[in-house]
Chain A
Amino acid sequence: MSTSADVSALGIRRTQMRQAAGSFAKRHPIIQLVVVRVALGVLTLFAVSIVIFAATQALPGNAAYAVLGHGATPQRIHALELRLHLNRSLLSQYGSWMGGVLKGNFGTSLANNESVSGLIGGRIENSAVLVFAAGIIGSLLAGLLGLAAASRRDGWFDHIASVIALVITAMPEFNVAIALVILLAVNVAHLLPAVSTIPPGTHAWDNLKLLILPVATLAIVIAPYIFRMVRAAMIEALESDYVEMARLKGVSNRRILLVHALPNALPPIIQVVGLNLLYLAGGIVVVEYVFNYPGVGAALVDAVSNRDIPTLQFIVLVLTAFYVLVNILSDVIALMATPRRRAPR
């Protein structure tokens, strides 16, 4: 699994929090944090839109070539370029696009002349369902396994689970997807549909059976990371003086685990879950491809090959906004979940 699940980001974010919470509003560090981060996020979105627009200009050919494909004779190219306004200057193309965005209009697809938000909306919903279903299921599964492993550290379960986790993190996700298809859909057992073509006009959650394999793939792919973090954070918490004290007082094991240790282990776990959600936003590209799932991954590849700049811009902006949002949320939740003695001094 390739990953942006990079726990390393944590250190930096904590300093930012500290700086943000510095002089002003020490009593409302969270609000201060949110305001600063949202402002930075909007700046990031703007910068990304310029980067994408500039990048697409370097692409050979344009939407007219891409749309006409095999039938691209010079006459037809010329006529289509005029109809798509591709002959206008770069600045005016970007300007009119930005003007539209400020009014909430994300433009018209160059590929088929329909509104971008209408065209991509359903796909975003599909992908969101995939990401959140996999995120929730993967986190819960990994959480339970991590608790179990930590509670009997160095037991047989801990060892087996740790090794499996290590192996899965080294697996490309298309391997996991293909293995599931072979086992459950096509070769060994014929239990589940092998492709997940959500019919247009229906919602992903109306087609639960179609969701099982793609969600399972993604859940399996992210679970090891979360498992490892839950296990490590729990072990650290279980070693703390605080838990030791509770143990001496004769508190039951289950109570120690859930009431005393878990809350202390939560902040890093939340951060890792957030990072894995972010990873999923990229990881769905491969999974959507394998299962022919109509999500943003396929739409993104499509938009690039169609040179469909408004659609590409929209998808990338949605992904970026998702990134910014998840980052803010996971930091805020982690901060709120941080017990007082671990809060930044």
Chain B
Amino acid sequence: MSVITRRTFLDGAAKGGLALGAGSLIAACGSSSSSSSPGTTASSSTTGATGTPKHGGTLTAGLTGGSSSDTLDPNSPVNNTDYARVANLYESLVWLNAAGTPVYRLAKEMTPNSNATEWTIRLRDGVTFHNGKPLTADDLIFSIHRVLNPKAPGEAASALAGIKAGEIKKLDKLTIRVPFSHSYSTFIETLAANITVYLVPVGFDPKMPVGTGPFKYKSFTPGQQSVFDRNENYWNSPLPYVDSLVMTNFEDETSQVNALLSGQVDVVNLLSQDTINTVTGSGKKVVISPGGGWNPFTMRVDQAPFNDVRVRQAFRLLVDRPKMNDVVFGGHGTLGNDVFSIWSTEYDHSLPQREQDIEQAKHLLKAAGQADATFQLTTADIAQGVVNMAQVFAQQASAAGVKVKLNQVTVTDFYGPNYLKWVFAQDYWYYQAYLAQVSQATLPKSPYNETHWNDPHYTALYQQALAQNDSAKRDEIAHEMQKIDYDQGGYIIPFFPPVIDGYSPKVGGIIQSKVGSSFNDWNFEAMYKMA
């Protein structure tokens, strides 16, 4: 029964060149991934530490984004700074390592039954919360219920949606059995990407943010700053290295970079390509990760003009992908093919690379009766590079004689009542495996189905995959689904943007990562200060 998950892990390990063992996971990905990450050539992206890690000191991180609605509630992080904070206070059962492969964290083992309608989860032994209480099966059950609470559903509620919450069974002090209303062979991958199923003690109160993570809560001012202390009893010693972790919000990149240059912070995240030279030219360093996150253009397939597949394909053909990648991310991104989850074992690399074809695009638009139409693209500064991508798209379209007008709105308006309803807009996602991503984005019941994709054949294929415990057969089904995405889908994915983080040469333990969020998913516990 446990073959499937092991096999998934081994697959990932083989591709990423990782040595995985449940006991030494974090150390393993820390040491291996700098050599395993392909795709970056910039010499400035040399990563990792010279010398051996040492304990002590304060690590100060200048993080982009955040507002007075910042939260330490593990269930509802919204912006970058929220994710960074909760990822260091709390831990989940599984997470993605730097190669984008799911690995156990607080879980010791997770095994499905034969048709994956029931999962048995055993927790790692000897883990304690910051308040000294040991982690038990009761805490896990409490945490799952907390995410699913209908009065305040958590960000990851949809990832757990199939769980029959009332029927979860505690088998022993560290083990539970979770029944699902349907097959869920991709439970581990989905859980690893939807990291906010964090484990908290029974009776958790967000005003006393207690987790098992590498750092303990000390102080927090929403919209400004948090101070966390080293968790002396962390189960994965010798991590973390620094005694204190300070995270400060920054409203814009210029002041963020200025803080790095003037030595006020040690690390900064999510830079644009424009600041790479500024940072490296001033004696600081950058790490450029080939992230598997993606910034798609989203076309609603149920609304004119994009309900006509010819218009969608025409728009995909209008994009000069290498040029857009060059202009917006200095060529550091990885070219995309309108199919998400590029680092997934399920990703089909055999689909021909889509290239700009203005003739064909115009021909398709004409056939669809849209040759002279003006299209409106709604954009907002929701993630690094997104507005610039929109500008380049509009420019490339207009060079081809297709009129695209930009409608830039504020971030708040973008996520306002029109969110998930824009006809032609943009979005951003972190990396997840293909089928896990499908459950979030391209099923009629997906919580974030921004393209309003509803293809019965596609959905049926997905359900087949969920019942399929053999990962090779799952990959086959996934490839069939990707062919549909490629030929008809509502996403334009020109490339997978790089994640560019800056740091002081006095900081060690920084690695490249494929997960699409900064610092290998906020892995501050692996960083250390050099003398």
**Residues of chain A whose beta carbon lies under 8 Å from any beta carbon of chain B:** 60-61, 65-73, 75-76, 79-80, 82-83, 109, 111-112, 114, 119, 122, 181, 185-186, 190, 192-195, 197, 199-201, 289-292, 294, 298-299, 302-303, 305-308, 311
Question: If the complex has contacts A68-B78, A201-B219, are A186 and B261 also in contact, measured as CB distance less than 8 A?
Answer: yes
Contact among A60, A69, A185 for B411, CB-based, below 8 A: A69
Contact at B158–A195, with CB atoms within 8 Å?
Answer: no
List B52-81 residues whose CB lies under 8 Å from chain A.
67-71, 76, 78-79
Interface window among B28-36, B147-155, B169-177, B492-500: B147-155
Chain B residues in 8 Å Cβ range of A73? 153, 158, 447-448
Chain A residues in 8 Å Cβ range of B259? 193-195, 197, 292
Contact at A292–B416, with CB atoms within 8 Å?
Answer: no
Contact at B78–A181, with CB atoms within 8 Å?
Answer: no
A112-B68, A294-B223 are known; give 9 further A-B pairs, CB within 8 A. A66-B69, A68-B415, A75-B157, A76-B155, A197-B225, A290-B255, A291-B255, A292-B251, A292-B252
Contact among A65, A111, A114, A194 for B416, CB-based, below 8 A: A65
Chain B residues in 8 Å Cβ range of A72? 415, 419-420
A-B contact pairs, 27 of them (CB 8 A): A61-B415, A61-B416, A69-B78, A69-B411, A71-B76, A73-B448, A75-B447, A76-B155, A79-B151, A109-B68, A111-B68, A112-B222, A185-B258, A186-B282, A192-B262, A195-B250, A197-B225, A201-B221, A290-B255, A294-B223, A299-B223, A305-B67, A305-B411, A306-B68, A306-B69, A306-B412, A308-B68
Count contacts between A and B, CB distance < 8 Å: 140
Contact at A200–B219, with CB atoms within 8 Å?
Answer: yes
Chain B residues in 8 Å Cβ range of A190? 262
Q: Which residue of B lies closest to A68 (CB)?
A: B78
Closest 5 pairs between A and B when the two form their complex, measured CB to CB = A61-B416, A194-B258, A200-B221, A111-B69, A305-B412
Contact among B222, B225, B282, B415 for A69, CB-based, below 8 A: B415
Contact at B255–A292, with CB atoms within 8 Å?
Answer: yes
Give the Cβ gap from A182 to chain B, nearest Cβ, in Å.
10
B360 lies within 8 A of chain A by Cβ: no
Chain B residues in 8 Å Cβ range of A66? 69, 412, 415-416
Chain A residues in 8 Å Cβ range of B223? 294, 298-299, 302
Chain A residues in 8 Å Cβ range of B264? 193-195, 197
Q: Could you tell me the distance between the alpha carbons of A122 and B221 in the complex, rounded to whole angstroms?
A: 10
Contact at B68–A303, with CB atoms within 8 Å?
Answer: yes
Chain A residues in 8 Å Cβ range of B150? 79
Contact at B251–A289, with CB atoms within 8 Å?
Answer: yes
Q: Could you tell me the distance between the alpha carbons of A218 and B150 in the complex, rounded to whole angstroms?
A: 50
Give the Cβ gap from A112 to chain B, nearest Cβ, in Å.
5
Contact at A60–B413, with CB atoms within 8 Å?
Answer: yes
Question: If the complex has contacts A60-B417, A66-B415, are A112 and B71 also in contact, measured as CB distance less than 8 A?
Answer: yes
Give the Cβ gap from A332 to chain B, nearest Cβ, in Å.
36
Q: Give chain B's interface secondary structure class.
A: loop
Chain A residues in 8 Å Cβ range of B413? 60-61
Give the Cβ gap from A242 to chain B, nearest Cβ, in Å.
52
Q: Could you tell me the distance between the alpha carbons of A294 and B261 in the complex, rounded to whole angstroms?
A: 20
Contact at A194–B155, with CB atoms within 8 Å?
Answer: no
Contact at A65–B68, with CB atoms within 8 Å?
Answer: no
Q: Could you tell me the distance between the alpha carbons of A73 and B221 in the complex, rounded to whole angstroms?
A: 27
Scoring B residues 278 to 311 as 1 if CB is less than 8 Å from chain A, else 0, what string do you get?
0000100000000000000000000000000000
Q: Which of A66, A70, A186, A298 has the most CB of B within 10 A?
A: A70
Contact among A70, A192, A291 for B415, CB-based, below 8 A: A70
Give the Cβ gap from B423 to chain A, nearest Cβ, in Å.
17
Q: Which residue of A lies closest to B447 (CB)?
A: A73
Q: Could you tell me the distance between the alpha carbons of A68 and B416 in the complex, rounded to whole angstroms?
A: 9
Q: Could you tell me the distance between the alpha carbons of A289 and B219 in the complex, rounded to whole angstroms?
A: 24
List B368-389 residues whose CB lies under 8 Å from chain A.
382
B248 lies within 8 A of chain A by Cβ: yes
Q: Which residue of A lies closest to B262 (CB)?
A: A194
Q: Could you tell me the distance between the alpha carbons of A178 and B491 in the complex, rounded to whole angstroms?
A: 40
Q: Could you tell me the distance between the alpha carbons of A22 and B225 in the complex, rounded to whole angstroms?
A: 55
Contact at B251–A79, with CB atoms within 8 Å?
Answer: no
Contact at B155–A60, with CB atoms within 8 Å?
Answer: no
Q: Which residue of A lies closest to B206 (CB)?
A: A113
Contact at B152–A80, with CB atoms within 8 Å?
Answer: yes
Contact at A68–B76, with CB atoms within 8 Å?
Answer: yes
Contact at A111–B67, with CB atoms within 8 Å?
Answer: yes
Scoring B residues 391 to 417 as 1 if CB is less than 8 Å from chain A, else 0, what string do you get?
000000000000000000011110111
Q: Could you tell me the distance between the alpha carbons of A281 and B107 in the complex, rounded to whole angstroms?
A: 54
B224 lies within 8 A of chain A by Cβ: yes
Scoring B residues 30 to 52 as 1 if CB is less than 8 Å from chain A, else 0, what string do you get?
00000000000000000000000
Contact at B222–A83, with CB atoms within 8 Å?
Answer: no
Chain A residues in 8 Å Cβ range of B67? 111, 302, 305-306
Chain B residues in 8 Å Cβ range of A307? 412
Q: Could you tell me the distance between the alpha carbons of A65 and B415 in the complex, rounded to whole angstroms?
A: 7
Q: Which residue of B lies closest to A73 (CB)?
A: B447
Scoring B residues 251 to 277 as 1 if CB is less than 8 Å from chain A, else 0, what string do you get?
110111011011010000000000000
Q: Could you tell me the distance between the alpha carbons of A111 and B71 in the complex, rounded to whole angstroms?
A: 9
Q: Could you tell me the distance between the alpha carbons of A290 and B252 in the complex, rounded to whole angstroms?
A: 8
Chain A residues in 8 Å Cβ range of B69? 66-67, 111-112, 306, 308
Scoring B residues 224 to 268 as 1 if CB is less than 8 Å from chain A, else 0, what string do you get?
110000000000000000000000101110111011011010000
Scoring B residues 438 to 450 as 1 if CB is less than 8 Å from chain A, else 0, what string do you get?
0000000001100
Contact at B248–A71, with CB atoms within 8 Å?
Answer: no
Give the Cβ gap from B155 to chain A, nearest Cβ, in Å.
5
Question: If the complex has contacts A112-B68, A298-B251, A305-B410, are A199 and B262 also in contact, measured as CB distance less than 8 A?
Answer: no
Give the Cβ gap from A28 to chain B, nearest Cβ, in Å.
45
Give the Cβ gap from A116 to chain B, nearest Cβ, in Å.
10
Q: Which of B67, B68, B79, B248 has the most CB of A within 10 A?
A: B68
Q: Could you tell me the distance between the alpha carbons of A98 and B289 in the complex, rounded to whole angstroms?
A: 52
Chain A residues in 8 Å Cβ range of B382? 70
Q: Could you tell me the distance between the alpha carbons of A83 and B76 in the complex, rounded to whole angstroms?
A: 14
Contact at B419–A79, with CB atoms within 8 Å?
Answer: no
Q: Which residue of A lies closest to B261 (CB)?
A: A186
Q: Could you tell me the distance between the alpha carbons of A82 and B149 in the complex, rounded to whole angstroms?
A: 14
Q: Which of A119, A200, A305 has the most CB of B within 10 A?
A: A200
Chain B residues in 8 Å Cβ range of A111? 67-69, 222
Give the Cβ gap from A93 to chain B, nearest Cβ, in Å.
19
Chain B residues in 8 Å Cβ range of A119? 68, 222
Question: If the complex has contacts A60-B417, A70-B382, A292-B259, are A299 and B68 also in contact, measured as CB distance less than 8 A?
Answer: yes
Q: Could you tell me the distance between the alpha carbons of A139 and B296 in the complex, rounded to whole angstroms?
A: 53
Q: Which residue of A lies closest to B419 (CB)?
A: A72
Give the Cβ gap from B447 to chain A, nearest Cβ, in Å.
4
Q: Which of A69, A83, A291, A303 has the most CB of B within 10 A?
A: A69
Contact at B415–A311, with CB atoms within 8 Å?
Answer: no
Give the Cβ gap from A236 to chain B, nearest Cβ, in Å.
44
Question: If the complex has contacts A72-B419, A109-B68, A306-B69, are A83 and B255 also in contact, measured as CB distance less than 8 A?
Answer: no
Q: Could you tell me the distance between the alpha carbons of A114 and B382 in the complex, rounded to whole angstroms?
A: 26
Give the Cβ gap from A323 to chain B, nearest Cβ, in Å.
24
Give the Cβ gap from B161 to chain A, nearest Cβ, in Å.
10
Give the Cβ gap from A33 to chain B, nearest Cβ, in Å.
39
Q: Could you tell me the distance between the alpha carbons of A278 and B26 in the complex, rounded to whole angstroms?
A: 55
Chain A residues in 8 Å Cβ range of B258? 181, 185-186, 194-195
Q: Could you tell me the distance between the alpha carbons of A243 and B163 in the complex, rounded to whole angstroms?
A: 91
Q: Could you tell me the distance between the alpha carbons of A105 and B79 in the complex, rounded to whole angstroms?
A: 30
Chain A residues in 8 Å Cβ range of B420? 72
Chain B residues in 8 Å Cβ range of A82? 151
